[in-house]
Structure 1
Amino acid sequence: MPFLLRTVLFILFLSDAIYSEELCEGVQVKDLDELNFSETEKRLVCGDEKLSAWAKIPAYQAKFHIKSFLQSRGYLSPNVQITNNTLKVDPGKIHTLKNIRLMPSELIEAKRIEEGMIPLYRDLPITPKLLDQVESGIVEQLRENSYACAKAQALIFTNGEEVIVQAAKLDRYKFGEVELELDEADVLPEAMKRFYPFEAEQGFNSKLLALVEKRVVRSGVAQATFFIEGCKNAKLSLSQGFIWGPPRVLRFGVGASTELGPMLRASWSNNRYKNMASKLSAKIEASFRQQVLELKSDYYHWEGHPRRSVLTELEISRENQNDFEEVKLELGSGLKWGLDSVRRFWSWSVGPKFTQGFYNSDFEEDSKSFEAISISAGVKTLSHDYELYDFHPQQGSSFFAQVEHRPRELGFDNTLSRLGSGGTIVGKLFSSGRGVVVGAVRFLAQTGLVDDTVDLEDLPPSVKYYGGGSNDLRGFQLKSRPKNDGLGALSKLLVKTELRKTHFFNPALEGFLFYDSARFGERSLEISNQTYHSPGVGIRWMSPIGLAQFYYSQAITTSPTEQSDELFYAGLGGEF
């Protein structure tokens, strides 16, 4: 046998050996076991004998389908041949993403956008779905930088590891005036202006449109809202539509935690009261520890000042802690107003409040009554990044300051002024796998100014400070510190720190480490040297019904002697 003929036969037999793994009759696939085709995919390539119309798939059609299936797994250049009505498939290798390059390179934001996108997709198989995600992610980044109508197309570079994204329509726009579609609701256009964190002459930022949507939905004014954008020459047209829903809403909720036991909640609200979309609401909450009835009116009266309202609240509550019990009624009314700066929302409030109630503690079991008229004022500010999160923010900051004065001349047993301020700072530190590591710090400083002759037992629990609980000093039972038979404290310092890992094996899970510490003082503006420490570890689950968290913590008390305990918590809700 001539040498050339033997060589040809060897190649043919070798080819058959390479493609010897059959997906079905007439379809040979190299490394078939690694591909894990689904039953649906197999039917689209091999046909289905039970259905006469699908009994035999034409080779060209099977070739198209199998190439699509392989590319969806990251095999960018499969070799698919049809030989004697047999489909022979060599998938080749999986291409993973190593780099993203945004064009044109002279774009000012290109480098920053690249640095933010690459860690999210590095080492993932390059698939059509991933390319779509890269395109949409870059478009969103551009839209946050005034490029309202930006487009992007992702292309794979010849090495199969770098994705080049070509951006287009890179004209910068301002917001301009928003056209409101209010036909179906008796609401004035001025009422909606309180939700806008931007001015007409401000550069376009899609994040701020998302913030408007969240503010409207959270307020209950509408069930949903959306923006329609149009780009014509150098001007952006922007209109806002609404899905209104009924103005009156009745809600019920149940939950549980190891801290409060079973929890029940019922609420009613009229979210579009009169044409400035004021709000009337009623809420009942009950658990083993706390029971609350709250009636509230947030009335927007001034059309020319849509961010100004009169807030009136009536609250009847009972709190039953391990060391004390208090029942009280509070009725307050005051002026509330807010504004947006470039990156933050600010709100102020001031007004009088009447309080009446009674209490007892382990220190003194006989009930004592109290009543007072006070003046309170406060300021609060949140960054827009912080406000964008529906719960559990991962970026931004929030700060507040509050003052309350209860003069003896207006009914309180002793003149008392309460001062408090605090804040939360949250930031993404670095990427880790598919998620990010988030750092968070929260601090709180509070004190009550009262004459030195006044004893702690002569003050109701609601004007004193306590520590412990899932939203406070996490290693200790709810409001169990300082440990002085429920007398509480007149001064408090709290610092909470936390490291979080998002996408903890699953996109809905978050692992976290924390360290909380606090000190208290039994006199005004004084802090003892006794420190309460709470190191711990936990997991949060962003479940379909809300945030659920589980953590284990040590409870360590220092000075005069060190004591330690431990606590496990499981429950729905909670905040850092």
Structure 2
Amino acid sequence: MSPTGNSAVWPVLLALTVLTAPCAAPAAAGGGYGPCPQIRFVGGEKIILNAMEIRLVCGDAATEGWGQIPFNQAENFLKAFLQQRGYQEPRFEPGPDVLKVDPGLKTVVRSFTQTGLPAEIKLKKLRKIKGQAMTPRLLDKAKTALQGALQNRGYACPEIDMRGNGTTGELTAEVRPGEIYRFEHIRPKRTGEVYPQIFSRYEAFRRGQRFDARLLDLTARRTVGDSLFLNAYFEVDCSTAGMVITERVVAGKPQLYKLGVGFDTEGFFIGKAQWLNSRLGARSNSMGVSVYTSYREQTAVADFRYFMGKASRLYLMPALTFGRLNEPQYEAIHSEFALLPGFSWDSRSLRGEFSAGPALEYEHTIRGLGPVTSYPAAAARLELRDHRFEYYAGEPQAGWRVNFKSQSMIAGLESRITAHLLSLQGEHIWNLGGYTPPALVLATRYLVQTTLVKNSLLAEGEIPLGMRIFMGGDSDLRGAGLNKVPADPLGLLTAVYDGVELRLGDVLPHGLQPLIFLDAAMGGRSSARLDPNVYFSPGFGLRWASPVGSIRTTVARGIVWRRDPAAEVLMQPQWRFFLSLGKEF
């Protein structure tokens, strides 16, 4: 939809006007209103031009050559400005001294049709098009959404022409999807800082897999997030000879510094700091230090990741961790030195990472029940993460993640007891209906954890805090205080939790997203055994993706289902309020 007679000035006008704030139009003599005496708006619609627009249609005596604007030139500018606001059929009446402008009524998109779109892409799944004011920006938005839908399904180089009828409100997309391509020829960037083969560590796709633009974007994010380069992106070229993908990078200093602050009603003010260098040596080994601090918890981690080859994802990682926990039931400090061989991989749809090795643990319980001890342990961790989960991490709407971890200590090997911790936790998110942008988002998170140990050792205080379980708070039972299930310092040896949350997507103005949820959990003081009582936390809340991070607030009520009146009650029913800046579900 190109404004008649002003196609050459439209791109420049759009760039200029979005940078300036709106200015009220002063009243003009002779009826109507206008930004200056020679321009007068008539009709029922109120039009407010910003400062830059006023200069372009009224002139600027202080600028040479712009003291007076001819009416035909002002008319072209005004057509473009009104089209930005959805007025597609303005009427102009030039007079000897005054140009009268009747904006007419806004054109609203009443129908959205297409030709040439593949059957697997449903136009009705694109939201916030019909019923909106027809503007060049809306046409660009619809084109971008269609282009994304095609490029995420293998059509790497689609051609789309958008046409809007300002009279009828009909919007039409003429689509030429082109061929379905597969990831084959990738030209890695050749740079003196790293070997080209190193780029394969970050690839989120496999050769021969159907093209998906999101996987290229995810690959670029990984290289930037690991501070390999300052910026990275891919150029995609299609021809009769096939598709060629070329990686482009912007080199910068190899060291990355990150500082972040947040807040929640459990840890109060939260601070995070990170230093990372991922270009150590020709193999791009990495070293990092991170610090997390809040009122309840302080943690510092330093690690070094040594890769076994140029393109290898196999690594050896020594890691040193220091931590302090301060809860009402206990206070403890903990340190760990681990030597973890590991490797990562990507399939067509997920990323996996596995590491396992020995660790030396030290734990000192300052207050509460627990030992002062050091002991060797064997640790293992496996993480599986769907590519969609990783891609949409900033705006959760699809995908899943599963983590499994274990830790073992053996009596006689510098340890007084034998204990094995087993933990499985995960998170799944669905975009209900598959709309773009999402209308409803359903999410669930769960935890299954137990420590296999002689049960009597729990009351004797011989089991380290890291092998005991405390539930409650925003991470699981939102109707209980932080780590208040149980409220005593003993903790639990077995726990099962599942939480379900339904959140409104991009529907309300200002990015507000109401949500409802239900948490449920069971716990037990014995290994691999749950007490009969069930603990629920129904509640509601609100999420806002603010310019400074996600803000979430929830209100929940703790409820106890006493299936056995004789069984111990681990949670006290109460209302809980939570507010956070920077956290997601």
* TM-score of Structure 1 vs Structure 2, range by shorter chain: 0.7 to 0.9
> Match of 1:16?
none
The question of 1:493 aligning with 2:496 is answered yes
Q: CA deviation at 1:379?
A: 2.1
- Report how far residue 86 of structure 1 moved: 5.2
- State the 1:270 CA deviation: 1.8
- Cα distance in 1, alignment partners of residues 529 and 317 from structure 2: 34
Residues 56-95 of structure 1 correspond to what in structure 2 (within 5 A)? 56-82=68-94, 87-95=99-107
Counterpart residue number, 1:283: 290
Residues 420 and 558 of structure 1: CA distance in aligned 2, closer, same or farther (over 3 Å): same
Identity rate of aligned residues, in percent? 26
Give the alignment's TM-score, normalised by structure 1: 0.87
Q: Map 1:310-459; keep pairs closer than 5 Å.
A: 310-359=316-365, 362=368, 364=369, 368-391=371-394, 393-430=396-433, 436-456=439-459, 457-459=461-463
Post-superposition Cα deviations, 1:263-313, rounded to whole Å, max 9, x if no partner, equal: 343333222122222211122333322222222112112335x22111221
Does structure 1 residue 21 correspond to structure 2 residue 32?
yes
The answer (yes or no) to whether the contact 1:427–1:438 under 8 Å persists in 2 is yes
CA distance in 2, matches of 1:249, 1:265: 14
State the match for 1:155 in structure 2. 163
- Counterpart of 1:230 in structure 2 is 237
> Which residue of 201, 205, 212 corresponds with 1:198?
205
1:570 aligns with 2:574: no
2:187 paired with 1:179: yes
Give how far 1:490 is off. Answer: 0.5
Deviation at 1:208, TM superposition (A): 0.7
Describe the superposition over 1:452-509 as per-residue Cα deviations: whole angstroms up to 9, x where unpaired: 44334321211011102222322322212123x2100000111111122234745554
The yes-or-no answer on 1:309 pairing with 2:315 is: yes
Contact 2:333–2:366 (Cα < 8 Å) also in 1? no
Q: 1:154 to 1:433 in 2, by over 3 A?
A: closer
Distance 1:446 1:337 in 2: 25
Distance change >3 Å, CA 424–CA 264, structure 1 → 2: closer
SS for the counterpart of 2:80 is helix
Q: TM-score, normalised by structure 2?
A: 0.86
Aligned amino acid, residue 558 of structure 2:
A
Offset at 1:246?
1.4
Contact kept? 1:155, 1:165, Cα under 8 Å: yes
Q: Deviations over 1:380-430 (max 9, x none)?
A: 211111010344522111112223322223233222122121211111125
Q: Distance in 2 between matches of 1:348 and 1:360?
A: 34
CA positional deviation for 1:370: 2.5
Q: Which structure 2 residue ranges, 5 or more long, are not aligned? A: 1-29
Change (3 A) 1:78 1:431: farther
Q: Is contact 1:428–1:437 with CA below 8 Å preserved after alignment?
A: yes
Structure 1 residue 480 corresponds to structure 2 residue 494: no
Match of 1:3 in 2: none
Inter-partner Cα distance in structure 2 for 1:37 and 1:233: 48
Q: Is the 8 A contact 1:248 1:269 kept in 2?
A: yes
The residue identity in structure 1 corresponding to 2:351 is F
Q: CA deviation at 1:434?
A: 7.4
Partner Cα separation in structure 1 for residue 533 and residue 244 of structure 2 = 61
Maintained 8 Å contact 2:227/2:255: no
Q: Name the CA shift for 1:49/1:296 in 2 (closer, same or farther; >3 Å).
A: closer
Q: Distance in 1 between matches of 2:503 and 2:203?
A: 31
Mapped to 1, the partners of 2:513 and 2:355 lie a distance apart of: 36
Aligned mates of 2:282, 2:60 — CA distance in 1? 62
Deviation at 1:323, TM superposition (A): 0.2
Secondary structure class of the residue paired with 1:354: strand
Partner of 1:466: 470
Moved more, 43-52 or 231-240: 43-52
Aligned pair in 2 of structure 1 residues 51, 314: CA closer, same or farther (>3 Å)? closer
Query: Which whole-Å CA distance do the structure 2 matches of 1:451 and 1:250 have between them?
Result: 45
3-state DSSP class of the match of 1:120? coil
- Output the CA distance in 2 between the equivalents of 1:165 and 1:360: 68
Structure 2 residue identity aligned to 1:528: D
The residue type equivalent to 1:490 in the other structure is: L
8 A Cα contact 2:82 2:103, kept in partner: yes
Partners of 2:106 and 2:395 in 1: how far apart? 37
Aligned to 2:123, which of 114, 121, 125? 114
Q: Whole-Å Cα distance in 2 between the matches of residues 56 and 510 of structure 1?
A: 49
2:142 is aligned with 1:134: yes
Letter aligned with residue 345 of structure 2: L
For the Cα contact (< 8 Å) 1:396–1:427, is it kept in 2?
A: yes
Cα pair 2:332 2:365 within 8 Å, conserved: yes
Q: 1:155 to 1:28 in 2, by over 3 A?
A: same
Distance change in 2, residues 1:551/1:452 (3 Å): closer
Could you tell me which residue of structure 1 aligns to residue 13 of structure 2? none
The separation in 2 between residues aligned to 1:498 and 1:393, in whole angstroms, is: 12
- Could you report, residue by residue, the CA deviation over 1:239-280 in whole angstroms, capped at 9, with x for unpaired residues? 112223212234444443321133343333222122222211
In structure 2, the CA distance between the partners of 1:122 and 1:90, relative to structure 1 (3 Å rule), is: same
Q: Is the 8 A contact 2:206 2:347 kept in 1?
A: no
- SS of alignment partner, residue 213 of structure 1: helix
Structure 1 residue 441: deviation in Å? Answer: 0.6
Q: Would you say the 8 A contact 2:321–2:336 is kept in 1?
A: yes
Q: Distance in 1 between matches of 2:227 and 2:512?
A: 29
Contact 2:377–2:407 (8 Å) recurs in 1: yes
Q: Alpha carbons of 1:433 and 1:564: their partners in 2 closer, same or farther (altered >3 Å)?
A: farther
Asked if 2 retains the 8 angstrom alpha-carbon contact of 1:113 and 1:141, the reply is: no
